[in-house]
Amino acid sequence: MITLLDGFRIVDATSNFIGHVVVENGVIIDVIGLDESLEDKKPLFSKYLMSATQIIRGRGDLYLMPGFIDMHAHFRYPGFSEKETLESASLAAARGGWTTVVCMANTNPVIDTIELAADIKCRSDALRLIDLYPVLSLTKGMMGKELSEIALLKNQKAGYMPLLLSEDGKDIADDEVFLSALRCAAELDIPVSCHCDLQNEAAAIQRAINLGLKAGCPLHIAHVSTKESVDIIEKTKWEHREFALTAEVTPHHLLLTNDDALRLGENTFGKVAPPLSSKKDRSALLDALDDDTIDVIATDHAPHTQADKEGGAPGFSGLETAFPVLWDTLIDNDEFTEQSLSHYLSAAPARILGLDDRGLIRKGMRADIVVLDPEKKTTIKFADFYSRGKNSPFLERDYNGKILFTMANGRIVENGW
């Protein structure tokens, strides 16, 4: 089956032009600029036009971008179905334009065995919605004492191999245990995502970096939220250019401040870990994204029930809201370009995770595609969430930019056109 996406503005980290994308068997088999289709490639374009099973027309004013890649989400499976299920989280991801997601291991039981991670991957694949990669925890039960099965990964001839390892928000208090885990990850060349929640954020980041340098392990710093943290990451990247250090920021830390936390209820619906920070911190995060001190935007999707939030559970649901709030706030206000946003959401996470078959709109890449209308309004409503967690700080607001459909591996998995 050939699908012709005809006449879209094609935008990725390095491209911005009007053209056509041809998809067959889950792969982009051709990308044709409008000028090419009228000249050198006109006969080939005519052939695609005649043989296409499905033609989707973009009119030149709709955008076509690579599917987004989320390096940090909580799917709550197994063990917390009242908060989220594999299906509800995957539907939410598809609606939000996320075609590849890394989900964290703080589940019940904790994802600390290869068998459990592989089972979750298999169950997710069976849904045929998104490409999900469960994280393996660093220690058994996230207790910080004994290594999980990460040491067995290097002996695996086949089977599931995680793209990221993490102890999530628990960190590991014992330096020797942490260092041992980092050395295992270094042998595997798998990045360790450090959430740096053990003490104050900046001190925890500095500790993780010191141990990461000692182990020679690629490190990824999750949900950076303060200027002090940014300064440490920038200094390390400058002084240790051979060190594989990357960092992420969330939409809520990028766009909101502690004033929003107070408005929402800093101990209930405005509570998140790490907390929303000052205007000075928010400005530093924007600057750090602009100069590549921070590499990617990740949602830290953390669904909770209404009762959870009323009881003080930290976290926001972010899979369905990230794109419109980022587009409206960063692109429409000329903070960033469409290409830079695609870099942070697709190309950069693909590079960090070693996924060389996605993240750009190129011939031979997976057909992970998002089509959007930059002018159409998105209203974020409680009742519209696919996620079971409706805990968003952006509720009841209108934003420019609406995702019309999401294609994952050549299949349309969400169609809101």
Dihedral sign computed on CA atoms, order 303, 304, 309, 312: negative
Are 106 and 168 in contact by the 8 Å Cβ rule? The answer is: yes
Among the options 171, 300, 308, 368, which is catalytic?
300
Are 48 and 41 in contact by the 8 Å Cβ rule? The answer is: no
The total of other beta-carbon atoms located within 10 Å of residue 333's CB is 8
Can you list the pairs that 80-85 forms with residues at least 24 positions away whose Cβ atoms lie under 8 Å? 80/107, 80/108, 82/305, 82/388, 83/303, 83/304, 83/305, 83/308, 83/388, 83/389, 84/303, 84/387, 84/388, 84/389, 85/388
Are 99 and 111 in contact by the 8 Å Cβ rule? The answer is: no
Annotated catalytic residue 300: yes
Are 12 and 360 in contact by the 8 Å Cβ rule? The answer is: yes
Strands 411-415 and 398-408: antiparallel
Distance separating alpha carbons of residues 406 and 415, to the nearest angstrom: 7
Residue 72: strand, helix, or coil: strand
Q: ∠ CA(382), CA(80), CA(169), 5° rounding?
A: 95
**Tally of CA atoms within 13 A in the half-sphere of 200 that contains its CB:** 6
The total of other beta-carbon atoms located within 10 Å of residue 264's CB is 21
User: Which residues are annotated as catalytic?
Assistant: 300
